[in-house]
Amino acid sequence: MKQNQEIKGRAKYLRETIREHNHNYYVSDAPTIPDSEYDRLFRELQEIEKKYPELKTLDSPTERIGAEPLKSFDQVKHTIPMLSLDNAFTEDELKAFDRRIRDRLKTDESIEYACEPKLDGLAISLVYENGMLVQAATRGDGSVGENVTQNVKTIKSVPLRLRNDYPKTLEVRGEVFISKAGFEALNVMARKKEEKEFANPRNAAAGSLRQLNSKITASRPLSLYCYEVGKVTEGALADTHSGILKQLQHFGLPVVPETAVVKDGKGCWQYYEKMGVKRDSLPYDIDGVVYKVNRNDLQKKLGFVSRAPRWAVAHKFPAQEEITVIKAVEFQVGRTGALTPVARLEPVTVGGAIVSNATLHNVGEIERKDIRVGDTVIIRRAGDVIPEVVSVIKERRPKNTKTIVLPNKCPVCGSAIVSPEGEAIARCSGGLYCSAQRKEAIKHFASRKAMDIDGLGDKLVEQLVIVGLIDHVDDLYKLKLEQLAGLERMAEKSAQNLLEALEDSKSTTLPKFLYALGIREVGETTARNLALHFGSLDALGEVDEETLLGVADVGPVVAKQIYTFFRQPHNLQVIDSLLKAGIYWPAISVKPKLSHPLTGKTVVLTGALGSLTREEAKEKLLELGAKVSGSVSKKTDLVVAGEDAGSKLNKALELGVKVIDEKEFLEMVKS
């Protein structure tokens, strides 16, 4: 008994001591012991908690190492919305902000502003109950965010328990970020592991915080600075913003050091200029500064607009720009087949980073800005935005510039490029064959509404592609037991189950097969209409665009996509290989054109039907040429309401949409 009390006391002492050293190191930036001593204390606590798990507490420093991966994040509704800030970009806009404050307060007296750097990170809400961290949530849309408590617990500058005389409930808002040094170290590690490097600290911080596996978050060099409070109960706060920041430090929470209190717009401008000079030497990235009326009573009097407080503004630094030359332009193919033109630049340093590539977005943007190879251009790199070409300096245009032309064939697979009239985005038509699109094509092919290959999830598809077992969808039916069983985390039983699922999937329907091909703009309904209209794959593959326009739900853009898809030899090779693998479906008799009251109508099903399932009702509607929608709108022609019909029925009644019951529906279908 005495020994247990001694161990319990030792564990408590270690937690409190380590907590104190964490505060000294991460918050006060004044460590009092060497790292080796800290590591010894930490390991001792780990050993005690491992041997006596009942002694482990929720706020133990060892909780920062991360927990088991989550499947998804829960949603959190913010008690007080996390609002955005209005922006100012010039001295005149700053003066206008200061003038609006005076006008609303009806005063000519000096206004005190609290100033702070605007960190380039991710906004976060922390809730402490009785001093203990109980919840952390992202800003989300301002009203609802994601619960990232497990991940935030891994951030060493976030206290799991507050210090001193804290309120019973304290919600504090802050910014999660990665320092410049931490970001460089992160990318050095990525290079060593031959992994993709992070684009910028802001993206790295956001991605790290939103990991479903908090052990990954724990390995990232995240930091936090607090900048305001939300909900507070049973605790007195200072009557100024700057005073509250000092209280937060008193509670053990980290606050950005470069804060200041100034007077009037002139003082704000001087702070802005000072931070602009210091910006590059700061240990973290900032994209501007924030001014807040310092007195809380004046903040309350000024109030809010719909999305932002009237008493605060973010003064953004100018976007960082530089001049360089376009040496060449290449077209990259994305996972959905979209072509993106990328300018290869004469390397130039922008915002502390060497930039050699910039996005040109699309051909329409190239034409609008009149960009050519050989042009001298202004490029911009601002925050987490990919470097872009802002404009051309035409005075420097040489005589031998080259016009940028959209290729007519995919640079990856050689398939034809489809560029629908009126659309800015051009796409590769080799969806079944193009290696740039193969992962998405295979995932879609295997999905439930397509070939419904049980057990072939996204992660397994990624794995099969990475190890080189599949290049295209037809390779799925060439997989062998020994190949699958040799994969990581794939036992022989699982491999056999997948092979059986692949065999089962060979028996399908023509509409499902057409949908599985992943032809752009061809969804379930269009695939069914095509199958019923033409009756066979061969017939569909031979028709022209004009004939396709005679199919229900097929317009000019869809017709062009279908026609082009069946003219690509690569796609036809894959389809032929799939059919040779044994995929088959029942023959379809082409039905005569229907003339039914429901043909072409948009119908919504809601509630439970007694004599048939929702899917059976949907099938009947599709056979009659109706469109089945999942939501009610002004474009809805008819709602079929079964038992316990809810919000869809209410909305239909509000909009004046015709509503019928199951009996009327069956009579209408029979007619």
pLDDT in tens, 141-179: 788 888 999 999 999 889 999 988 899 999 999 999 999
Q: How confident is the model at residue 67 (pLDDT cuts 50, 70, 90)?
A: very low
- At how many degrees (to 10) do helices 614-623 and 662-670 cross? 30
Query: Which pLDDT does position 82 carry in this prediction?
Result: 86
- Given a cut of 60, is residue 55 above it in pLDDT? yes
Distance CA 446, CA 519 (A): 14
Phi, psi of 664 (to 5 degrees): -65, -40
Query: Which pLDDT does position 201 carry in this prediction?
Result: 81
Long-range contacts for 22-26 (Cβ within 8 Å, ≥24 apart)?
A: 22/61, 22/156, 22/159, 23/159, 23/163, 23/252, 25/156, 26/156, 26/157, 26/223, 26/254
Give tens-digit pLDDT for 457-484: 888 988 898 888 998 899 999 999 999 9
Q: Measuring CA to CA, how many Å separate 362 from each of 65, 164, 427?
A: 44, 57, 11
Question: Whole-number mean pLDDT of the chain?
Answer: 86
Measured between alpha carbons, how far apart are the two ends of the chain, in Å?
85
Sign of the Cα torsion 507, 509, 512, 514 reads positive
Q: Measuring CA to CA, how many Å separate 92 from each of 96, 115, 302, 439, 533?
A: 6, 18, 21, 51, 65
- Contacts (Cβ under 8 Å, ≥6 apart) of 651: 632
Q: How confident is the model at residue 228 (pLDDT cuts 50, 70, 90)?
A: very high
Structure tokens at 655: 């909009």
CB 620 within 8 A of CB 611: no
Give tens-digit pLDDT for 388-438: 888 888 888 999 999 999 899 999 889 899 887 666 788 898 888 888 888
User: Comparing 5 with 402, which gets the higher pLDDT?
Assistant: 402
Structure tokens at 503: 């065999």
Query: Which pLDDT does position 592 carry in this prediction?
Result: 55
Cβ neighbours, 10 Å, residue 389: 23
560 is catalytic: no
Give tens-digit pLDDT for 486-531: 888 888 899 999 999 999 999 999 999 999 998 988 888 889 889 9
- Given a cut of 90, is residue 238 above it in pLDDT? yes
User: Comparing 424 with 664, which gets the higher pLDDT?
Assistant: 664
Work out whether strand 112-119 and strand 260-263 pair parallel, antiparallel, or are unpaired: antiparallel
Give Dmax over CA atoms of the chain in angstroms.
91
CB 321 within 8 A of CB 155: no
Give the active site residue among 71, 118, 263, 651: 118
Query: Which pLDDT does position 621 carry in this prediction?
Result: 80
**Among 266-280, 286-300, 544-558, the least confident range:** 544-558
Instruction: Identify the structural domains of the chain with CATH numbers, from first to last.
Output: 2-65 (1.10.287.610), 87-316 (3.30.470.30), 320-403 (2.40.50.140), 438-580 (1.10.150.20), 602-670 (3.40.50.10190)
Q: What is the pTM of this model?
A: 0.47
Structure tokens at 35: 């790292």
Query: Which pLDDT does position 232 carry in this prediction?
Result: 92
- Give the whole-number percent of the chain exceeding pLDDT 70: 93
CB 439 within 8 A of CB 596: no
Query: Which pLDDT does position 18 carry in this prediction?
Result: 86
**Among 63-67, 386-390, 447-451, 491-495, the least confident range:** 63-67
- Given a cut of 80, is residue 30 above it in pLDDT? no
Residues linked to residue 175 through DSSP beta bridges, in sequence order: 123, 225
Compute the average pLDDT of residues 38-60: 82
Query: Which pLDDT does position 422 carry in this prediction?
Result: 63
**Among 49-58, 475-484, 611-620, the least confident range:** 611-620
Give tens-digit pLDDT for 569-594: 989 999 999 999 999 999 886 655 55
